[in-house]
Structure 1
Amino acid sequence: MCTWFYADYKPLSTIIDKAQQLPLTSAIMNAMSKPSTMSGNIRPTDMAAVFAPNKQGNMAVFPMIWGFTVEQSSKPLINCRIETADQKPVWKDSWFRRRCVIPASWYYEWGVPPSEVGFHNANEQRSIKKEKFAIQPEGAEITYLAGLYRFEEHQGIQVPMFAVLTRESVAPVSDIHDRMPLILGKESLNDWIRPNGDPQSIAKKALTKMIMEKAKDYPEPKPAFMQV
């Protein structure tokens, strides 16, 4: 699962600054009343800096909104299971033609502390307060979340919207949750976003060595007009 991730401005400043300067960012801000911060805690319906192919098919930075909107639900679709991405109508076209990468510092997951699992049965575990954990690939400063995107019309403009792909989790994440984002290595980014690439084969190269620790509460970045 991925319902919340953190974008630390310092290591991601080049990417975030580039996205904030694009005319599309201002258009999305005006049309959807979304701030263009793109750093700190990023939640569903927030704007984020995302890698996707430009008109020449090369990797470029774009502002996107997190979550596909669908008539059947009042909540956006923020995650897509990789096992059915090539089958379900809402995802199929994006799976084959519109793939993206969301640069983050880490993502969050909530679960029963692993130290408590072996000492309680399933019913007892439900009553234990879940803790928030920060998760990222071992030895990585940037966590590259694999995603899909599409364009939706909002207030008369075409807005790119993204969703994060998820897969079966691996240890230590599997100790607290059965799903996790599909996380790519830096060497796979260009192949992933390439429209004529083979997503299934690239997904097999996803990173599996994760580190997990109890999350801290990081301060939200100040709006631009408050920064000195």
Structure 2
Amino acid sequence: MCGRYASSRKPEDLVELFQVDRWNPTETLAPSWNVAPTDDVWAVVDRADRETGELGRELRPLRWGLVPSWAKDPSVGARMINARVETVHEKPAYRKAFAKRRCLLPADGYYEWTAVPASEDRKAYKQPWYIAPEDGAPMAMAGLYEWWRDRTRDDDDPLAWWATCTIITTEAVDAAGRVHPRMPLAIAPADFEAWLDPSHQDPGELRSLLIEPAAGNLGARQVSLAVNSVRNNGPHLLDPPDQPAPAA
């Protein structure tokens, strides 16, 4: 799975990296080295302009944790942070979004944990690992997004609509597989257009883009235990731990 990740790039850099056409500079998110479920995250989507109908690529914030349009309340989103690639096209919570509302979620890297048993001088704990492309390139995690209407609010209330997302996961490869059996599925730049285009709705063709993760070696290294608390943030989270745990 993917339950925490880092996203520290400036939106101006993401606009260039993902060839974004539209971004509202008033929509800002602080760099985060500890993105957690229910946080707002940057997403790249292809959508038609409301006034002209012209399809364009947008950079916009979405809330991490997909809330299906039919959900009675948004609390379900906290449990829908990941969608398995093997079943995403058929699960009721995801299949409509898979057909029409796909996105890319930029990340520097993500975290997984290994359990370290107690020793004579230390209690049992979970050691965080930071998994990221070894060349420092951004990860374009495959995602889905959905709209949910809060019926308790008026139509003209800007908070009446929730825009939420989930990350598609697959079997882990490279160093990631030694830490955890699942990983976020990254989309290769050559497939960005096909993945994002909402007019592409054939499940078979879309699934062909998700056969295997985008090429690129992933490295995994132990990082500070401070990652374990969502209250902590900053680049220091990527520092090595004071006491390294056994290798995964």
Coarse TM-score class (shorter-chain normalised)? 0.7 to 0.9
TM, length-normalised to structure 2: 0.69
Whole-angstrom CA distance in 2 between matches of 1:175 and 1:59: 36
Letter in 2 for 1:5: Y
Whole-angstrom CA distance in 1 between matches of 2:108 and 2:177: 20
Consecutive unaligned residues in structure 2, runs of 5 or more: 16-21, 49-53, 118-122, 228-232, 236-248
Q: How many residues align?
A: 197
**Structure 1 residue 76, shift from structure 2 partner:** 3.6
SS in 1 for 2:177: helix
Corresponding residue for residue 130 of structure 1: 126
Corresponding residue for residue 47 of structure 1: 40
Letter in 1 for 2:218: M
Corresponding residue for residue 201 of structure 1: 208
Consecutive unaligned residues in structure 1, runs of 5 or more: 26-34, 117-126, 222-228
**Structure 1 residue 38, shift from structure 2 partner:** 5.4
**Structure 1 residue 183, shift from structure 2 partner:** 1.1
Does residue 211 of the first structure (1) align with residue 219 of the second (2)? Answer: yes
Corresponding residue for residue 63 of structure 1: 61
Whole-angstrom CA distance in 1 between matches of 2:127 and 2:13: 32
TM, length-normalised to structure 1: 0.74
SS in 2 for 1:150: strand
Kept after mapping to 2: 8 A contact 1:172/1:210 = yes
Whole-angstrom CA distance in 2 between matches of 1:191 and 1:205: 15
Corresponding residue for residue 234 of structure 2: 220
Structure showing the higher helix proportion among its residues:
1
Select between 63-72 and 137-146 the one with higher mean Cα deviation: 63-72
Does residue 141 of the first structure (1) align with residue 137 of the second (2)? Answer: yes
Corresponding residue for residue 14 of structure 1: 13
Deviations 1:58-109 (A, max 9, x none): 3221111101234596534110011111111110011111100001111111
Q: Matched residues, percent identical?
A: 24
Indicate how the Cα distance of structure 1 residues 80 and 39 shifts in structure 2: closer, same or farther if over 3 A, else same. same
Letter in 1 for 2:34: N
Q: Which has the higher contact order (CA 8 A, sep 6+)?
A: 1
Corresponding residue for residue 150 of structure 1: 146
Whole-angstrom CA distance in 1 between matches of 2:188 and 2:135: 11
Letter in 2 for 1:145: M
